[in-house]
Structure formats: C-alpha cells, structure tokens
Amino acid sequence: MSAPPGGALAAIHEEEALGKAYDARLLRRLWPYVRQYRGQVALTLVLVFPMFVLELAPAWIVKVGIDRVIAPAVGGDALARASGSSAAGPLVQLFRAPRGVAPLVWLAGLYLAAMLLGAFLQFVHATVMSWTGQSAMRDLRRDVFGHILRLHLGFFDRYPVGRLVTRATNDVENVAEMFSAGIVALVTDLLKMVGFAVVLFLVNARLALVTFLVVPFLAAAAVVFRLRVRDAFRAVRVRIARINAVLQETVTGMKVVQLFAREQRNLRDFAQLNAEHRDAWYNSIRYDSALFAVVEAAGGISITVVIWYGAGLAASGLVAIGTLYVFIDWTRRFFLPLRDLSAKYSVMQSSMASCERIFQLLDTAPQIADRVVPVAPVRRVHGSPGGAVEFRNVWFAY
C-alpha cells in the first residue's frame, strides 16, 4: 500500500507535466464563464484609473505644501520658484486654498479626502473583483460536478476519488484566485508602473532618468528569479500531488493497511513525503525572499540616487524640495508591485495548472452514453370509464 495505484501515478505525472504560467488557449476556454460578468470586469479595470490618481495625490499635496507654504515661510523663495519650472506647474494651482481658508488646513483636508476616497475605491475594486471571480467559478464548479455525474463507472476505477474532489474544490478555488491576485492584479500593477513612469518624466525628466537607471538590472534579475521560482513551485505541486495520492489510497484502503499491520511503514512513507514537501516549500520561499530583497535593494538604490542627484539640482535652484519628496514617494510606489512579483507569478502558475487539469477532466468523454428511450403515450380504451388502482392493508416484512 505504499505505492500509489495506477490512477494516482497518472495524476502525479499529470501534475509534473503542467505548470505553465500563461496559456492563451486556456484563457479562451475560461472566457465563456467570465463573459456574462464582463460588466463587472470592465468596472474593475475602469476603477484602476481613479485609484491611480488618488495614489498620486497625497505626495503631490505634500509637495504643494512644501513648495508653496513651508518653503516661502522659512525664506526658501528660490526653492519655491523652482517648483514652477516643471511641466506640472499648472497642477500646483489646482490645490490653491480658497479665500479665507488657511493653506495648510486646506491641504490637510485634501490629503485626508484623497486617502479616504482611495481606500473606498480599493474596497469597491477588491469586492467587485472577488465577487466576479467567485460567481464565474460557481458556474465552472457546477459544470465540473455535472460532468462527473455523466462519466462512466469504469472511469472511477482508474481515477482516484481524492483527485476528483480536488478538481471540483481546490482547483476551482485556484482558478478563482487568478481574478483577485493573479492576472487582474498583474494588469493593474503593470498599468500603475507605466503610469508612475510617465508622471515622473512629466514632473522632471532628468530626475526620472536617474531614477530608472537600476530598472534594466532589476528586470534581468526578475527574469532569472522567475525561472527559479517556476521550477521551485512546480516541485511543490508535485509533492502535494504525491501526498494527496498517498492519503487518498491509505484512507480508502484502511482495512487492508490494518489487516497487514502496515501502519508504521505507511507512517514512515508519509513522513518522507511530508519532509520532501517541506523542503520544496523552503526552496520556493528562499527564491521568493531573494527576489523581494533584490527589489528592496533596487528601490533603496534608486531613492538614494534621487536624493544625491536631486540635492545638487535643488541647491542650484533647478528642482524644488517638494519635487524631491514626490520622486521619493512615487519611486517607492513604482517598486512596490515588483516585491510580490514571484507571489503573483506563483498564483498564475497554480491557476493555469488547475485550469488545465479542470479542462482535461471536462474533455473526458463518457464511454457509455445514456439512450433516450421514447415513452409511449398512455392510450385510453374508448368507452371505458376512468379508474384508479388502490392498495389496502398491504404490508411486508424482512
């Protein structure tokens, strides 16, 4: 009972063969389940733009306060004038306080309003995205279960029951995560990164070029770590498949296990698989942590270069102090999506693998199809009165 049966071995090899992080063919097959909720999908994408603006706003409000209120008050007129030299100078005028309202009070109110509205939009975005994913997966789970009910009995002799349960539960949940933390999150992060790059160049092209000096090196490191994470995560999936197969076999065959007194041997075999699963996760976490550290270091280097180079420009009156603050804040936000890049990639990989296994099950055609037997209509003999069959005092015993 220590070796998985043929069906379980086939399931293990299936896990080993899968693991592609992006497959347009699978996404096209998944689209019919999402198409009826395309209004909600469009809403999540539209919300990205006001969320991005509100993410930019707090740092810009602080910039206006520094350049237009604080710097002139402490005698930094040259630094205040420098803020009007950028292409984004007209935006500063949008935050001018109304007559009779203290500028700092006005800016503080705008800052609070931007933060609260941004938090509300993030709540709406996450709620709609999760609801859409769960609704689509409800339909997919219903189709999976309905297809299982139509399969021939011989299929269940070769396919582990635990694997079928996984298809209708865990695999569907993995596909649902693609909406909340996978492809939608990747598209959102990509749009934000492009947006941050554009606005940084609009504010000050010279500082923006200095800020993105480390991006090519970071991109190369991300590609290397992506491949490492892919292999490590695939190893995790293989170990999970083996554990599931052994658990399913042992539990369903518990009578045989106890009759042959194999409890200790099965426990040792499971302990070995469990240790391999732990080691695979450790390897995956190590690469994930290394990528996180590389992104943190790249972000720190970029901010350091901005401060060093921007200080010289500020001393020459070419850049305002508020602009430096904006670059520091927006540079930090630019690198934020890259920190969990491997996590999003792992989610996409798991979702694509689960999606492929689900469609492989749906593509399995029943070998025995139910015949449609026509039912002859009940004919009444002409001239006979209507009658009924009645049972009285009928009983049976066993």
pLDDT at 35 over 70: yes
Residue type, 10: A
pLDDT at 343: 65
Residue type, 263: E
pLDDT at 379: 61
Note whether 76 and 317 are within 8 A (CB): no
pLDDT in tens, 298-340: 888 888 988 888 888 888 878 888 888 888 999 888 888 777 6
Note whether 192 and 176 are within 8 A (CB): no
Q: Where are the alpha helices (DSSP H) in the chain?
A: 6-17, 24-35, 38-65, 71-73, 77-82, 89-93, 103-150, 153-158, 161-168, 170-177, 183-203, 205-211, 215-252, 254-259, 263-315, 321-339, 341-362
Instruction: Determine the straight-line distance between the first and last CA of the chain, rounded to whole angstroms.
Output: 39
Phi, psi of 122 (to 5 degrees): -65, -40
pLDDT at 116: 96
pLDDT in tens, 175-216: 888 776 667 777 888 888 889 999 989 888 888 888 888 888
Note whether 268 and 384 are within 8 A (CB): no
Q: By three-state DSSP, how is residue 377 classified?
A: coil
pLDDT at 115 over 90: yes
Percentage with pLDDT > 70 across the chain = 79
Q: Tokens 């798991």 map to which residue?
A: 350
Phi, psi of 383 (to 5 degrees): 90, -10
Handedness of CA 78, 79, 83, 86 (dihedral sign): positive
pLDDT at 12 over 60: no
pLDDT in tens, 52-96: 999 999 998 988 888 877 777 655 554 444 444 445 555 556 666
Alpha-carbon distance of 210 to 6, in angstroms, equals 59
Biggest CA-to-CA distance, the chain: 114
- Residue 383: pLDDT band by 50, 70, 90 thresholds? low
Ordered by where they begin, the domains of the chain are: 6-362 (1.20.1560.10)
337: left (phi over 0), alpha (psi -120 to 50) or beta: alpha
Tokens in use for 392?
């009285």
- Residue 294: pLDDT band by 50, 70, 90 thresholds? confident
Alpha-carbon distance of 272 to 387, in angstroms, equals 72
Least Cα distance to 166 among 236, 273, 244 occurs for 244
pLDDT at 278: 92
Note whether 323 and 207 are within 8 A (CB): yes
pLDDT at 373 over 70: no
Alpha-carbon distance of 126 to 123, in angstroms, equals 5
pLDDT in tens, 248-260: 788 888 888 898 8
Least Cα distance to 242 among 1, 19, 13 occurs for 13
Alpha-carbon distance of 112 to 108, in angstroms, equals 6
Percentage with pLDDT > 90 across the chain = 10
Q: By three-state DSSP, how is residue 389 classified?
A: coil
Alpha-carbon distance of 221 to 69, in angstroms, equals 42
pLDDT in tens, 128-152: 988 888 888 889 889 988 888 888 8
Phi, psi of 152 (to 5 degrees): -75, 160
Host H or E run for residue 391: none
pLDDT at 360: 86
Q: Looking at per-residue confidence, does 328 or 230 come out higher?
A: 328
Least Cα distance to 350 among 21, 17, 25 occurs for 21
pLDDT at 16 over 50: no
Q: Which H, E and C letters describe 17-70, residue by residue?
A: HCCCCCCHHHHHHHHHHHHCCHHHHHHHHHHHHHHHHHHHHHHHHHHHHHHHHH
pLDDT at 378 over 70: no
